[in-house]
Amino acid sequence: MGGMGECSLSVLLLHVRYRLSSAGISPSVVETEMIVGHVLGLKRSEIYSQAQRRVTPEETAVVMGLVELRMGRFPLQYLLGECEFMSLPFTMREGVFIARPETEILVEAVIERVEAGGKPVRRILDIATGSGIIGISLARYLKPDLVVVTDICRDAVEIARANAILNRVEPVTQLMVGDRLDPLRQGWATGFDVVVCNPPYVETDEIPGLEPEIRAFEPLVALDGGPDGLRFIDGILPGISSILKEGGLVAFEIGATQGPRVKALFEHAGLARVEIVKDLARLDRVVLGRRS
């Protein structure tokens, strides 16, 4: 918005919304409120009660800089540097996989089963954690003695560390850099009550068809599950039983068409009481099993 001087917040909101919707960004109202609120330090609920407030040219320039990036499909969570997951705050940074709302289904399914079991969990493992959302939210809600989180990407582990500090679970969180189960080779990290993982599970052929935000900006290593999407899952399942306590719970996020195949892989790996949990769109989203 070159040349736009001082204006009211309501004019700025209209202008931003127009720019975003003309670039095909939707829902433009929500994104407008989030970007403008972020720059002005206002909660979304406060924005409209202050609609007549004056906005300085400097504030406008910062907002429009972010809007330009967003119009180029740069993901909103990277722009804002934060996102919410399981009602907890998380820091986010370019290069690290962005938390998806569907992943809350995985976390909720684990919490429900642990609570139904009636026994406290002592050790949790989150493999390929990305920004740490799964392990850290389980640490907050289940209060284990130890959560081990691993990721192949050092940047991801650094963001996960920041998020463990932000959510005050750093004292119980052990962060490790490495691929799949490699970081656990040292041997002390075993006897887990719960093992969780949101692996890369998108079929390689489907990656070009993903939204531009994902395809162009998110780390491929966090998405690409090989030709059938199951390469990562298939690679680690055989090793999981040996690090799981008897009766321990395993939960993986999966793609919508992968339920029956992943269930079969769980059973083949000797896991019992295997179940598929669907998401709000009634699509297969999570597979759970137990070490018998």
Task: Report the distance separating Cα 73 and Cα 37, nearest Å.
Answer: 19
Q: Which of 78, 90, 192, 201 binds ligand GLN (CB under 6 A)?
A: 201
Question: Residue 198 CB, nearest distance to ligand GLN (Å)?
Answer: 5
CB atoms within 10 A of CB 4: 14
# residues near ligand GLN by CB under 6 A: 9
Stretch of 135-143, 154-162, 186-194, 198-206 contacting ligand GLN, by CB under 6 A: 198-206
Question: Residue 120 CB, nearest distance to ligand GLN (Å)?
Answer: 29
Task: Report the distance separating Cα 35 and Cα 17, nearest Å.
Answer: 10
Residue keyed to tokens 């052990």: 174
Which of these is catalytic: 144, 199, 200, 219?
A: 199
Taking Cα atoms as reference points, which of 84, 125, 124 lies closest to residue 104? 84
Task: Report the distance separating Cα 208 and Cα 281, nearest Å.
Answer: 23
* Per CB under 6 A, 192 contacts ligand GLN: no
* Per CB under 6 A, 200 contacts ligand GLN: yes
Compare residues 252 and 266 and give the one whose CB is closer to ligand GLN: 252
Question: In the range 47-106, which residues lie near ligand GLN by CB under 6 A?
Answer: 100
Q: Which residues have C-beta within 8 Å of that of residue 103, sequence separation ≥ 6?
A: 85, 133, 134, 198, 253
**What is the DSSP-derived secondary structure letter of residue 282?**
S
Q: Which of 202, 233, 236, 243 binds ligand GLN (CB under 6 A)?
A: 202
* Per CB under 6 A, 215 contacts ligand GLN: no
Which of these is catalytic: 198, 219, 232, 252?
A: 198
Assigned token pair, 46: 């406060």
Q: Which residues have C-beta within 8 Å of that of residue 185, sequence separation ≥ 6?
A: none
* Per CB under 6 A, 214 contacts ligand GLN: yes
Residue 91's SS3 state is strand
* Alpha helices for the chain (secondary structure H): 9-22, 28-40, 44-47, 57-71, 76-80, 103-117, 133-142, 154-166, 212-217, 231-240, 259-268
CA 241 distance to own-chain centroid = 25
Q: Is 85 in the active site? A: no
Q: Which of 34, 181, 223, 243 binds ligand GLN (CB under 6 A)?
A: 223
**What is the DSSP-derived secondary structure letter of residue 249?**
E
Stretch of 14-22, 58-66, 197-205, 259-267 contacting ligand GLN, by CB under 6 A: 197-205
Question: Residue 146 CB, nearest distance to ligand GLN (Å)?
Answer: 24
Question: Residue 130 CB, nearest distance to ligand GLN (Å)?
Answer: 9
Taking Cα atoms as reference points, which of 144, 189, 141, 136 lies closest to residue 165? 136
Q: Is 163 in the active site? A: no
Q: Is 97 in the active site? A: yes
Compare residues 68 and 206 and give the one whose CB is closer to ligand GLN: 206
Question: In the range 243-272, which residues lie near ligand GLN by CB under 6 A?
Answer: 253
Q: What is the contact surface with ligand GLN in residues (CB under 6 A)?
A: 100, 198-202, 214, 223, 253
Looking at the annotation, which residues are catalytic?
97, 198-199
